[in-house]
Structure formats: structure tokens, C-alpha cells
């Protein structure tokens, strides 16, 4: 996976203001060959706290969809190498069950019906208003099959996926988006080792460039923040294997 | 006077923070202007490659412009796309496509605040 620092920085600074679904850490595939529209959609979805891969060709999208556990795919109908309807049919034929939001300039009723009949879950007509895009994506991510526990607890650390907030003893931790994503992933896998590669895949898209020690740096900062807040949870490192979050009861008076 | 509900300059800047879509509008306008002779003169058999190029540009603008706050450009681009599709199928009036292209060039100029 090649990750760009600039993209990572952009994602790191994304706004937290939107009402986020429980699947906030979800990874989304956007299949759109129009660079401007793809850029806008990617920017808006990252601002929702999502990790986004953008691909411009149907065949590449099919490969990515088979190799990656996406929570949602946003697919344009007019792709350069293949009709988007064919792509959706092919995905369903290959048992890829990920929810699909189709995006197209075609607005006739029969176009919408054929899109949905091909296997899409919802339909967004271009031109679209950005709030409608956000609302449809959020609604699809809220579907029961995608819902995960919205509050995770490890020791005295509560990770609230809906509020995008981690709390220790009633105080919100000052986390960046990446740090929050990391904490949420580790909390979801409490007491289980999480390989570094899995963390990279959860935090970064295909187009991001990640420096060799990016994950180590995020873990280091997260540890500092947890300790400073008096968290009764610790990130353990197993060299060559990965990381895990475990409860760690602290002696009275040890919090910073 | 600004139309009710029309986006402000600040709205447009939010949708296109680095100005790349505005640059694209300018490039598309130049490309369409260069292709306009294919529709001029009322030729019954315009160059199909030129028509295909106009159709593609119109299709892309119809899909994207409204999302970036340029609804008029998007609507007129859709009209142009449909008239060119009809023309290529042998069932439409070249003058209508020519009028739509002229209207799209004017809408693009307005969007770019050209006079």
C-alpha cells in the first residue's frame, strides 16, 4: 500500500462535526472516473471520518472489492472501461454483498429501477447536493448488517463511535482522527493482537503514502495521551506481531 | 441580481477549494468553442468525431457542474448532450444542437465571469 503523507495529513485534519454512523471507521470505495467529482466525494466522505479509496476504472474496482472489506461502495454508472450496471451485476454474481450507492446523471425512473435491479442499494442522481450524498452514505452505513457496538469500553476508557470521542473518567481525550481510529480498532479487538498491516489498512487508503514508522508514531502518541489521562488501559507491543489494548489497573494517584 | 437559492462565491469556494473545477470549466469552454464549427453552417452531416467529443464534454458537464454549484451549466449541458445524441442518431435538428452549444458557451462564460 502506498500512502501519501499529504493525503494522510489532510485526513488527519478532517472535521469531526458531522453526525457519524457507528461504522465511522468504515472503509469506502468510490468508483468514479471524473476526477473533480471523485475528489469532491472523497473529500466529503473523509470529512465524515471514513477511509476512502478512489478508483476510476471498473476492472480495478472489481479487484479492489474482492480484496478489501469495504463497508460501502459508491459507483458511477458511466465508467470508461465498462458500464457501471455491468460492474454491479458482476460484483453481485461474485457474492460481493457490500452495499452499493449508484451515482449517475441518468434520472429517469427506468434508469433508477434498472440500477436497483442490478444489485445497487440506493441511487444518487447527478448533479447532487453534498448534504444528500452525506445523508445517503450515512443511511447506508447505518443498516443493521453494518451496525457495530457504538460504545466500546476498556478499563475506564470509553470509545464512543457515534460521537467520535474517547472518554476517560468523564473527560474527552484530545485525539486526532487517526489516533481515534487506532484506539477504536484496538478497543474493538480488546486483548487480541492486531497486526500492524491491519492497522495500516484501517487507517489509510490505497493512495496514501505511509512512512515506515507512521503506525509506531500513532501508537506512541496514543500511549502518551492515555497515560496523561489516567487511562486504565495500555497499548502493548509484541515486536514483529502487532499491538493490543489491555486493561491496566493503575495504583491510586498514578495519573498525570 | 442573484437568483434565489443560487450559490454564493463562498459556497462555490467550499465546493472547489483548490479551483480545479473552475479551471476545468475554462478548459471545457475552450474545447467546446473549438468544436463549435462542427455544428455551424447547418451541415446535414456534421463530423461525427467532433459530435462525439461535444457529447462527451456535455455529458461530463451535465454530471458534474450542478454538483459544484453551476446548475445552469449542468442543465444546458444536458440539453446539448441530448440534442447531439439525437443528431448522431440521425433524428434531430442540427440547428437545435448549435443553439444549445451557443447557450452552453454563454453559461460557461457567465460561470467563469467572462464578458
Q: Is residue A255 part of a domain?
A: no
A32 and A108 fall within a common domain: yes
- Kindly state whether B7 is in contact with chain A, defined as any CB-CB distance less than 8 angstroms: no
Pick from A230, A240, A158: nearest CA to A193: A240
> pLDDT above 70 covers what percent of chain A?
84
Q: Please give the pLDDT value at position B80.
A: 94
The CATH number given to whatever domain includes residue A58 is 3.40.50.2300
Q: Which of B20, B59, B71 has the CB atom closest to A127's CB atom?
A: B71
Query: A105 and B62: CB-CB below 8 Å?
Result: yes
pLDDT(A231) > 90: yes
Q: Is residue A27 part of a domain?
A: yes
Q: Which 3-state string (H, E, C) describes A164-184?
A: CEEEECCEECCCCHHHHHHHH
Query: In this predicted model, which residue has the larger pLDDT, B4 or A38?
Result: A38
Q: Is residue A16 part of a domain?
A: no
End-of-domain residue from the set A146, A179, A194: A146
Q: Which helix (H) or strand (E) holds A142?
A: none
- Kindly state whether A129 is in contact with chain B, defined as any CB-CB distance less than 8 angstroms: yes
A186 and A228 fall within a common domain: yes
Q: Please give the pLDDT value at position A102.
A: 93
A129 and A156 fall within a common domain: no
Residue boundaries of the structural domains of chain B:
18-111
Q: Tell me: the pLDDT tens digits for B69-93? A: 898 999 999 999 999 998 888 777 7
A57 and A138 fall within a common domain: yes
Angle at A206 between CA A236 and CA A2, to 5 degrees: 75
Q: Please give the pLDDT value at position A253.
A: 59
pTM of the model: 0.64
Say how many domains are in chain A: 2
Are A161 and A148 within 8 A, CB to CB?
yes
Q: Which of A140-144, A229-233, B102-106 has the lowest mean pLDDT?
A: A140-144
Q: Which helix (H) or strand (E) holds A241?
A: none
A141 and A185 fall within a common domain: no
- Kindly state whether A105 is in contact with chain B, defined as any CB-CB distance less than 8 angstroms: yes
Binned at pLDDT 50, 70 and 90, residue A6 comes out as: very low
- Kindly state whether A106 is in contact with chain B, defined as any CB-CB distance less than 8 angstroms: no
End-of-domain residue from the set A126, A146, A166: A146
Query: B67 and A39: CB-CB below 8 Å?
Result: no
- Kindly state whether B19 is in contact with chain A, defined as any CB-CB distance less than 8 angstroms: no
A102 and A189 fall within a common domain: no
Q: Tell me: the pLDDT tens digits for A176-214? A: 989 999 999 899 888 888 888 889 888 888 777 778 789
Question: What residues make up the domain containing A223?
Answer: 151-247
Query: In this predicted model, which residue has the larger pLDDT, B90 or B107?
Result: B107
Q: Is the ipTM of this complex over 0.90?
A: no
**Minimal C-alpha gap between B64 and chain A (Å):** 6
Amino acid at each position: 500500500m502506498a500512502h501519501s503523507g499529504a493525503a494522510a495529513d489532510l485526513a488527519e485534519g478532517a472535521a469531526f462535526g458531522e453526525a457519524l454512523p457507528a461504522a465511522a471507521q468504515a472503509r469506502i470505495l468510490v468508483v468514479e472516473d471524473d476526477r473533480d467529482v471523485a475528489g469532491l466525494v472523497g473529500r466529503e466522505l473523509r470529512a465524515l471520518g471514513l477511509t476512502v479509496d478512489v478508483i476510476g476504472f471498473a476492472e480495478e474496482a472489481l479487484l479492489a472489492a474482492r480484496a478489501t472489506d469495504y463497508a460501502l461502495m459508491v459507483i458511477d454508472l458511466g465508467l470508461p472501461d465498462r458500464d457501471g450496471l455491468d460492474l454491479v451485476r458482476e460484483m453481485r454474481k461474485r457474492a460481493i454483498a457490500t452495499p452499493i450507492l449508484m451515482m449517475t446523471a441518468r434520472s429517469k425512473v427506468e434508469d433508477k429501477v434498472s440500477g436497483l435491479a442490478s444489485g445497487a442499494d440506493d441511487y444518487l442522481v447527478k448533479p447532487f447536493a453534498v448534504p444528500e450524498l452525506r445523508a445517503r452514505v450515512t443511511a447506508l452505513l447505518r443498516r443493521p448488517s453494518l451496525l457495530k457496538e457504538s460504545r466500546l469500553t476498556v478499563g475506564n476508557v470509553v470509545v464512543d463511535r457515534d460521537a467520535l470521542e474517547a472518554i476517560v473518567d468523564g473527560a474527552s481525550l484530545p485525539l486526532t482522527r487517526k489516533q481515534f481510529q487506532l484506539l477504536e480498532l484496538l478497543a474493538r479487538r480488546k486483548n487480541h493482537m492486531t497486526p500492524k498491516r491491519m492497522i495500516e489498512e484501517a487507517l489509510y487508503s490505497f493512495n496514501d503514502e505511509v512512512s515506515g514508522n507512521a503506525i509506531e508514531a500513532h501508537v506512541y502518541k496514543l500511549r502518551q495521551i492515555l497515560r496523561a489521562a489516567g487511562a486504565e488501559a495500555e497499548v502493548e507491543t509484541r515486536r514483529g506481531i502487532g499491538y493490543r489494548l489491555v486493561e491496566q489497573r493503575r495504583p491510586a494517584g498514578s495519573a498525570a | 441580481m442573484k437568483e434565489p437559492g443560487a450559490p454564493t462565491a463562498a459556497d462555490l469556494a467550499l465546493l472547489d477549494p483548490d479551483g480545479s473545477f473552475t479551471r476545468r470549466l475554462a478548459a471545457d469552454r475552450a474545447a467546446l468553442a473549438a468544436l463549435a464549427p462542427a455544428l455551424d453552417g447547418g451541415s446535414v452531416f456534421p463530423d461525427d468525431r467532433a459530435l462525439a467529443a461535444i457529447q462527451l464534454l456535455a455529458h461530463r458537464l451535465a454530471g458534474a457542474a450542478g454538483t459544484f454549484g453551476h446548475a445552469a451549466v449542468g442543465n444546458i449541458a444536458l440539453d446539448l448532450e441530448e440534442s447531439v445524441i439525437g443528431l448522431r442518431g440521425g433524428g434531430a435538428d442540427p440547428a437545435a444542437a448549435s443553439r444549445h452549444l451557443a447557450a452552453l458557451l454563454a453559461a460557461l462564460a457567465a460561470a467563469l465571469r467572462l464578458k
